[in-house]
């Protein structure tokens, strides 16, 4: 069962080494089937070049395993929390991609500095607050999801317009319409994170003009978009 879902999730996970977003097994992608209330996710600690469709784990929204022999990703509770709250998303991704992780370790938002950023993210990529010692000790992965959602709510950020976040001291999480789209956004995040590091070195404090951010974001998103073929 859920073969097509598992195949899509397998394919999305195989894009992680292809786009050089991971070292060893440091990343995972999932996709939700909202009609059936199930999520397909990478098994924990399995190298990408060994992954098969059967290895992909099917769980429900309580984290109960529905199908598969392997343990799901240790980050599974974070994925579930995001799916529960961000009801329009279809795929979730977590990596330790180098440049995004650097910003997360520094505990800083990735500022919107140019149109490359604006083409995909309508504003700064937020970095969460630190988790409290209690949040770390008990239900750490669940609380990682909660602190992401708290940050979006606190700042009143539209999670569909900024489909990535940095978890302070940890690394990036992201999402999209489906697993493939989540990976796409993670590739963009990594590139703009690299550009932002060096831009800040050249000209600290510079920001993109609001009008240019608007122009590029809405050139590709929403009802007046005119980029691409549709």
Identity of the residue, 108 or 160, whose beta carbon is nearer to a second copy in the bound complex: 108
**E strand or H helix that includes residue 60:** strand 57-60
CB 182, min distance to a second copy, A:
14
Among 27, 68, 90, 114, binds a second copy (CB under 8 A): 114
Query: 3-class DSSP state for residue 90?
Result: coil
Distance CA 54, CA 166 (A): 31
> CA-CA distance, 160 to 180, in Å (whole number)?
15
Active site positions, annotated? 119, 227
The pair phi, psi for residue 22, each rounded to 5°, is -135, 150
Encoded one letter per residue, x for contact with a second copy by CB under 8 A and - for no contact, window 126-165 reads ----xx-x--xx--x-------------------------
Structure tokens, 42 = 């990478």
Count how many residues are written for the chain.
230
Binding segment (CB under 8 A) for a second copy, from list 9-17, 29-37, 112-120, 155-163: 112-120
Interacting residue with a second copy among 26, 129, 139, 149 (CB under 8 A)? 26
Does residue 35 belong to the site contacting a second copy (CB under 8 A)? no
When asked if residue 66 is in the footprint of a second copy (CB under 8 A), the reply is no
**DSSP letter, residue 66:** E
Smallest gap from residue 34 Cβ to a second copy (A): 27
**How far is the first Cα of the chain from the last one, in angstroms, to the nearest whole number?**
33
- Torsion sign over Cα 225, 226, 229, 230: positive
Binding span for a second copy by CB under 8 A among 33-41, 43-51, 153-161, 173-181: 43-51
Strand partners, 58: 40, 67
For residues 158-187, which are near a second copy according to CB under 8 A?
Answer: 169-171, 184, 187
Which DSSP string do the residues of 139-167 spell out, in sequence order? SHHHHHHHHHHHHHHHTT--TTTS-EEEE
Q: Near a second copy by CB under 8 A, which window of 8-16, 84-92, 173-181, 196-204?
A: 196-204
Total interface residues for a second copy by CB under 8 A: 61
Q: What is the spatial distance between Cα 16 and Cα 97, in angstroms, rounded to a whole number?
A: 9
Judge whether 225 and 219 are in contact, CB under 8 Å: yes
Q: How far is the CB of 183 from a second copy (least distance, A)?
A: 11
Site membership for a second copy, residue 3 (CB under 8 A): no
- Give the interface with a second copy as residue ranges (CB under 8 A): 23-24, 26, 43-46, 70-71, 74, 96, 98-99, 101-108, 113-116, 119, 130-131, 133, 136-137, 140, 169-171, 184, 187-188, 191, 194-203, 206, 208-209, 211-212, 214-215, 219, 226-229
């Amino acid at each position: 069962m859920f073969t097509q879902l598992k195949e899509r999730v397998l394919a999305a996970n195989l894009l992680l080494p292809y786009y050089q977003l991971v070292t060893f097994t440091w990343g995972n992608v999932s996709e939700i089937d909202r009609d059936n209330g199930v999520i397909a996710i990478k098994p924990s600690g399995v190298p990408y070049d060994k992954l098969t469709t059967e290895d992909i784990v099917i769980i429900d929204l309580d984290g109960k395993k529905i199908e598969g022999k392997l343990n799901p990703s240790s980050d599974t509770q974070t994925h579930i929390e995001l799916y529960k709250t961000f009801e329009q998303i279809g795929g979730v991704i977590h990596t330790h991609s180098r440049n995004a992780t650097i910003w997360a370790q520094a505990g800083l938002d990735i500022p919107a500095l140019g149109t490359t950023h604006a083409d995909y993210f309508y504003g700064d990529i937020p970095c969460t607050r630190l988790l409290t010692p209690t949040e770390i000790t008990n239900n750490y992965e669940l609380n990682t999801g909660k602190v992401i959602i708290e940050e979006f709510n606190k700042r009143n950020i539209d999670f569909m317009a900024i489909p990535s976040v940095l978890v302070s001291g940890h690394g990036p999480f992201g999402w999209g319409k489906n697993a493939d789209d989540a990976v796409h956004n993670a590739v963009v995040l990594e590139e703009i994170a690299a550009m932002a590091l060096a831009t800040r070195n050249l000209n600290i404090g510079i920001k993109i003009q609001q009008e240019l951010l608007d122009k590029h974001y809405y050139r590709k998103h929403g009802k007046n978009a005119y980029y691409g073929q549709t």
